[in-house]
Amino acid sequence: MSRTRSLKESFGYAFAGLKEAVSNEPNFQIHVSIGISALVFAMILEFSKYEWLLLSFTIAFVLILELINTVLEAIVDLVSPNIHPKAKIAKDVSAAAVLMAAFWSLIVGTVLFLPKLLQ
């Protein structure tokens, strides 16, 4: 069953979750720091609107997957406090998704930044 919540309450829960991730998830902190650095660097290099769009979506994709990974790990820990092979698979595959996104973000970053740096 779903309870009716006000828009203010819904946003409050969302911001509480974001605060939790920023405060207590080291990998999320790393991704946020790298993302902010990339945005600052893009500003210095005067990215076009399409470069900004691609960079922003790439950063958001990595951050969103990191948040989903955090959620999955918390749920797995809750339902399976003891070590279980299926729990390990769930956590490992979720972490692999973040790793793949981070890897591809490096490729996108290279395509976006390298030509500007070589000019």
Domain range spanning residue 29? Answer: 7-118
> Is residue 39 in a domain?
yes
Instruction: Summarize pLDDT for 63-97 with one digit per residue, the tens.
Output: 999 999 999 999 999 999 888 999 999 999 999 99
Residues 6+ apart with CB under 8 A from 46: none
The confidence score (pLDDT) of residue 2 equals 62
Tokens of 9: 């309450």
Predicted confidence (pLDDT) per residue in 96-114, tens digit: 999 999 999 999 999 999 9
Mean pLDDT within 29-42: 98
Whole-number Å distance between alpha carbons of 80 and 82: 5
Looking at the domain assignment, is residue 2 inside a domain? no
Q: Full-prediction pTM beyond 0.85?
A: yes
- Give 74: exposed, middle or buried? Use CB within 10 Å, 0-12, 13-18, 19+: exposed
9 belongs to the catalytic site: no
> What is the number of structural domains in the chain?
1
More confident residue, 59 or 80: 59
* CATH number, residue 20: 1.10.287.3610
